[in-house]
Structure formats: C-alpha cells, structure tokens
Chain A
Amino acid sequence: MSTPTPTRSPDAGPAPAAPGPLAQVARSAASARMPTLAVAALLVITLAASVVLQPDFFSPYSLSASFATFLPVATIAAAQTIIVLGGGIDLSIGTIVTLASAVSVVLMDGDNSRLPLALAAGLATGAACGLVNGLVVAGLRLQPIVATFATSSVFGGLALLVLPQPGGTASPALTQTFGMVLALYIPIPAVLLLALWLAWRLLRQHRFGQYLYAVGGNADAAYTSAVPVSSVRVFSYVAGGTVAALAGVALLADSGAGDPTLGTELTLGSIAALVIGGTRLKGGSGGVGGALVGAIVLSLIQSLVFFAGVPTDAREFVYGCIIIAAIALAGLLTARSGVRRPAFTRGKAGTR
C-alpha cells in the first residue's frame, strides 16, 4: 500500500483501498491511506448507531434485509468506480441499470425456465451500453460528463420503450434465491457482495487492473509506456456497464419488479458512494473495496435517519446534510494526505 503521494508515475497504481491478505493486515493498517481509515471509521460509527437504534440489527432476518438493500447500491458503486479509476465518469450508469433490469424482467416474465436467457440478455444489454459509452468517450474523444449525459438520455428512453411503466414480474427462483439465508446466518446477498469484491481483487491482479490505474493516473505517461490507452478506456466502460447490469439484476431480485424511472438517483448515489470510499474522482487512485463500504455506509445512514425517528418531511434534508458532511470529511482527508503544499495547489495535488 503506497500512500497517494502526488507522483506522476503510472505505477503508483498498486494502492488498493481494500486490505490485502490477512497476514498483511497489520502492515496495511499502518500504511493505509487516510480515506480508507475515514471510511472504516464511518462504517464503525454507522454500524454502532444502527445496533443501538435497532437492537435486532444482527438477527438473521434483519441482516438479510439489510444486505438485500446494500447489494444493488454497492454493485452500482463498484461499476462506477471501475470507470472512474480509468479516468472517466459515467452519468448514464443509473439508466444502464434500469435498462438492463427492464430487459431482464420483460424477458423472464415470471417464468423460471426463462431465467438464464433473461439474465444473459440483461448482462449483454449492460455490456452493449458500456461499449457505446466507451466508443463515444474513447473513440469520438468526447468529454465523459457530457457524452454520458447524452447517452443516458438514449438509454433512459430505451428503458421506457422496453418497460413503459414500473412493473413486470421477476422469476420466483431469482427472488427466492436472493432472499435465502445460508448456514442460518449468512444471507445470499452478502455472499454475492463478497464474490463481487473477490472478482475485483482478481481484476486488480490482472494486467488490465494495472492498466486501469495507469490510464486513470496519467493517460499520456501510460500511452508512452505502451499501454493501449483507448482500449483500456473502452474496456473500463464495458466492464462498468456489465457490472451495472448485475446491479440491475440484483435490484430486480430485491424488489421483484422492474422500474424504468430510477436512473438519475442511482447515478448520484454511486458517485457519492465512491467518493466516500476514497476513490479520487480524477482517476488512478482508490478502489472498489472502498466504494463497496461507502455504499454500505450510505445505505446505513439512510435507514438510520428512518429509525432515529426524524419527522417524514425532514428525512431527506437530514440525510442530505449527513451525506454532505461525510463527503466533506472524505474530501478533507484526501486533501490532507498529500504532501504539504501551498494552500492554492493543495487541492490540485490530486491531479498529478
């Protein structure tokens, strides 16, 4: 774990936010980046508060319900993180999620035998959307923020075409499996969350993972080091789109029906989660692990506001203020962890 000193070298990449194997835990804790510590602290605080406010928080039923809410949000955050690490951003990710879930739910139509086909179609949709985004951003070289805003309009429209109103029926096998609890205590969504993280670790070890950090950190340096920058960018969007489609399936499994109108909210949540999780919005630093924890923290805060007895009309406001505070905390720690610089460049330290 290297500290995120503003080095220009692309091989500053190996700075995983998530702790490594158990043997290295102590060492990585000592050298962990500040954002990692911050999000860990936030997790502990929100968990403690949840336990205090909901005494049965750790009961199998409640745990299963919690993880069922965490999984979709965390998966979207993971998808966004892959794209952001590569130096892009995807404002269309929420609409990819809704489009993929709409395609799946329409195809499965409450029938177990159609489940594999529907899932495959959903994932293919996500990958195709990611490919479109990747080609527009890396091929046409448009600025990612506006380009993906434009494509979000396209994907959102397609989702409405496929599924004009919230509805549809997910196949019972999917929703039942999702609600299962293994070994009396471990909910399936938690297992899937772990699988997602492990998949990320695998990707991180792969050459593509290295390339991702290199391109996000400094595209020019990566280019001169013979990294296939454009392919990596396209691939990051395709991977992000595919993971987003997984989130769509998870959403479907959780709610049992599709909803084509959720798009924007999901996008905003994913960006907030990854920033709280310590991923730099400029790319090249951070990791999916942090984003997963960030998403869990966000979901916990949301349910905390509910359980703390805040009046209905004030809930959104309180939630918003807490998120701003959490983001500001993360921002402050990210800025402080760099090398000391004059005030006016310190904010810029992250750009190198």
Chain B
Amino acid sequence: MNVDTARPGAGAPGAPEQAPAPARTPLALRLARDPVVISGSVAVLLWVAAALVSPEFASWGQFVTLMTVASFLGVIAIGQTLVIIAGGEGIDLSVGATATLSAIVASRFMAGSDEGILTAVLLALGACCVVGVVNAVGVLVFRVPPLVMTLGMIAVVTGFIRLYTGGRPEGSAAPMLRTLVAGDTVAGIPGVLWLWLGLSVLVVWLLRRSPFGWRLYAVGANPTTAYLSGVNTSVVKFSAYVLSSLFAGVGGLLLLGYSQNVYTSLGTDYMLNSVAAAVIGGTALVGGVGGYVGTAIGAILLTVLDSLLRIMQIGGGEWGDAPRQIIYGVVLVIVLTAYGRQKRLRQ
C-alpha cells in the first residue's frame, strides 16, 4: 500500500481499487456516482443541446458522422486505457505521433490503389509495434517514467516522420480504406463503426473475461501482490505498451481513410484527448481502475462537445479558434469535477 501513498498524480493514498461500495447503498445513488453513467448522461445532454441549437444535428446522417469522428478517438483511446490500467504511472503520450506515423507509412505504400493495401497495413502496424516495443523497453528496462519516455518518443517519431518523408508526405488512402470509413456499407452504418463496435467488444472481453485482463488489473492495482501471486508483471506491462501503439496505429489508418491525405500533424490532437477520454470514462490514472466502455463514452462526449462548440459558431469569425479552446477547457474541468476527484487528505 505504501507504493500508492506518494503518487503525485493521484496524491491520493489508499486503495488501488475503488473502495467497494457498501452493499446498502441504494441503486440510484450508486448509478449517480458511476463515472460511466455520469459521462453518458453528460454526452446525451450535450447532444440534446446541440440538437436544440441546430435541428439538423439530430438527423441520422449527422449522428453517423459524429460517431465516425468519435471512432478515431475511441480506437486510439483503447490502447491508452490499457496502459493507464496497467498502472505504475502508466500513460502513453506518443499515441498521437504513432497514429500519424501509421497513416504516413500506409499512405505511401497504398499510393491511392487497393493493390498494396495488405502490405501497407502490415508495414504501418509493424512500425507502430516498434514504437510500442521501444516505449516498453524504456519504461521496463531503463525505468524511465512512462510520461517522460513516451514524451521523448514523440520527438523520435516525429523526427523519423520528417526523415522518412522529407517534410512532404506522399501517397493517399486506398479506395478500400475510404469505403470502410466514409462509405455506407451495412445497415446504413459505415464499416468503421462496425469495426469500432467489434474492437470495443473485443477489448471489453479482453479486460473482463480473459486472463490477460485479470492480470492487467492485478498489476495496475498492486504490482507487488500481483508479482507475489505469480503474475509476470513485466510481460503484462510490455503487452500493454505494444497494444497501445498498435491501436494508435489502427486509429491512424482510420484517420487516413477519413482525411484521404496525410499531413504531419494528423494525430497530434489525440495525444491528450485520448487521456482525457479515458479519465472522463472513469479510468483512474493511478491504475487498476476503469474499463473501456467508459472510455468509449468519454470519446463520444469529447467529440459531441467539440461539434457543439463548432455549430454554435463559437470559433471562426474574428476571434478564430480561441473561444472554442477556452470553453472546451472549462467544460473539461467541470466534467472532471463531477467525479474525477481524488480523495481528501483527511480520511
């Protein structure tokens, strides 16, 4: 337990698992305290607000577009969630750069045709795995704090992108990838949303029902007891970092399909938004707490908020992007205050 007492991020001492809610707590109260329920309702509220401001927002087409945009953040945040749950100050700030890397490698090998799509996807994801392995080695072997290690990797990855492209990314997305993201495939829902749904089910199963998931939570909650219970903590964390980069790569590919062309700051915005999505969804940065459903809802919430601010025409005009940024930050603080708070010092 001492391990937890002095974590700065959390400052909060104590139980890695959230204190088990007393059995007597009424269901309504328990729901009202559940991060997933809270962020879900906030997302719905924002969406209703957006629909009131601009009625077209409620149309099916708009809804699908919104979810498509949310899916990129959602997929990238999968890996982020895994890394954060694995604990030990786990965080992966390199996801944005990794997503860009994946998109850039893939677009060069696709070059706008379907022929090389398999090679392109494999190469792109392979490059992302390398990033993940380097992150994991830095964190586990050299004991660099994950925040710093992944921060440093941003410099390395963007540097590599610069070296690889000479500053001018080439190629474009394969038509097949475009159809997946933008095309209308099954039951009026683009393939990318089915893919997101599939990945979500997979990840939730992985976290809740598979031995890997149990070990991940065990390591995140208390690495010492996990170790003493025979969990190979290094392997679990190693996989978490590699998976994080892998999912960031998948997110980058989807982004490529959406924007069709690449640019070097494609994934930058996803770096901290993926962390915010996970935290809004109830995943605690101390590790061992949380899950993917919350993160997915967090991703939707952030996307709805962004679109709401856009359709309200805040931003644009003489003030540029600034007011939207400010409101975005303020709302984020308010949402976090709803439940993302740490324990009091006085117990």
Contact = CB atoms under 8 A, between A and B. Distances in A.
A281 B329 contact: no
Interface stretch (A32-40, A134-142, A247-255): A134-142
A346 B143 contact: yes
Contact of B2 (A8, A324, A328): A8
Given A271-B151, A347-B88, A351-B6, A146 B341 contact: no
A150 B332 contact: yes
Contacts of B341: 140-142
Given A143-B285, A313-B163, A313-B167, A327 B152 contact: yes
Contacts of B176: none
A239 interface: no
Q: How large is the interface on A (under 10, 10 to 19, 20 to 34, 35 or more residues)?
A: 35 or more
A229 B346 CA distance: 11
A197 interface: no
Contacts of B154: 268, 320
B163 A161 contact: no
Interface in A267-303: 268, 271-272, 275, 281-284
Interface stretch (B102-110, B192-200, B320-328): B320-328
B333 interface: yes
B258 to A, nearest CB: 23
Interface stretch (A15-23, A188-196, A212-220): A212-220
B336 A147 contact: yes
Given A150-B336, A282-B7, A352-B2, A220 B345 contact: yes
B272 A91 contact: yes
A149 B2 contact: no
Contact of A142 (B140, B144, B340): B340
Contacts of B160: 317, 320
Contacts of A317: 156, 159-160, 162-163
Interface in B69-124: 88-89, 91
A282 B6 contact: yes
Contact of B151 (A87, A272, A345, A351): A272
B145 A331 contact: yes
A230 B48 CA distance: 38
Interface stretch (B9-17, B36-44, B206-214, B247-255): B9-17
A161 B327 CA distance: 13
A174 B74 CA distance: 48
Nearest to B285: A143
B5 interface: yes
A182 interface: no
Given A141-B341, A161-B322, 7 more contacts: A87-B6, A150-B276, A161-B323, A219-B11, A316-B162, A324-B152, A324-B155
B158 interface: yes
B163 A145 contact: no
Contact of B159 (A144, A147, A230, A319): A319
B293 to A, nearest CB: 19
Contact of B6 (A141, A218, A330): A218
A84 to B, nearest CB: 7
Contacts of A316: 155, 158-159, 162-163
A140 B336 CA distance: 9
Interface stretch (A46-54, A112-120, A152-160): A152-160
Contacts of A283: 6, 8
Interface string B117-161: 000000000000000001000101011110111011111111110
Given A84-B8, A164-B320, A319-B155, A157 B329 contact: yes
A146 B7 contact: no
B6 A219 contact: yes
Given A147-B336, A153-B325, A223 B276 contact: no
Interface in B295-347: 319-326, 328-330, 332-333, 336-337, 340-346
B144 A154 contact: no
Contacts of A342: 227
Contact of B142 (A219, A321, A332): A332
Given A161-B319, A223-B345, A320 B155 contact: yes
A344 B5 contact: no
Nearest to A314: B163
A335 interface: yes
